[in-house]
A = this chain, B = another copy of it.
Amino acid sequence: MEVINIETFQRFFHQLVLLYRPFENRLNTELSKHQLYRAQWSIMYYMYNDGSVTLVELSHYLGVEKPTVTRTIAKLEEMGYLEPVPTKDKREKRMQLTSAGRKVYQEVRATIDEFEQEILEGISEEEQLEGIRLMSLIRKNLMQGEF
């Protein structure tokens, strides 16, 4: 087993920073074809996979504050992609995708899948899975104590 080299630590996170900007740029380019932004897409993604969610759930999941979620949700509702789901607790605002929202999700997903496959070229599924594992581990370490 090798000794942990301090240079590795540096390079890992610097690389993350360097990767994220071009990635987000490209993602936004794809999303703009559907008049959507990254923050909106993240919420639609979560809802498509997990059904109805409250704003607090979203806030925890995305790691952003409640006012940020309120604004993005309001915009998506205005666009007709989200609708409220009645709940017992009257404080809660539970939302789900409308049928229009699900339709747009599927269209966007087709575009995004294409672009993602393109930039993951030359990377095996095994490597990708290892990457996912790494990222979720780091995320867990980061969120330790938050929320």
A interface residues, Cβ below 8 angstroms from B: 1-6, 8-23, 25-27, 38, 42, 45, 61-64, 109, 112-113, 116-132, 134-139, 141-143, 146
Task: Indicate how many identical chains form the complex.
Answer: 2
Q: A10-B116, A26-B142 are in contact. List 4 more A-B contacts (CB 8 A).
A: A9-B128, A119-B141, A123-B137, A131-B131
Quote the shortest CB–CB distance from A26 to chain B (angstroms). 6
| A22 close to B120 (CB less than 8 A) | no
Partner of A20, one of B6, B16, B119, B129: B16
| B9 close to A116 (CB less than 8 A) | yes
Closest residue of chain B to A20 (Cβ to Cβ) is: B20
| B135 close to A16 (CB less than 8 A) | yes
Quote the shortest CB–CB distance from A16 to chain B (angstroms). 6
| B63 close to A21 (CB less than 8 A) | yes
Given known A-B contacts A9-B117, A132-B8, A62 and B127 have beta carbons under 8 A apart? no
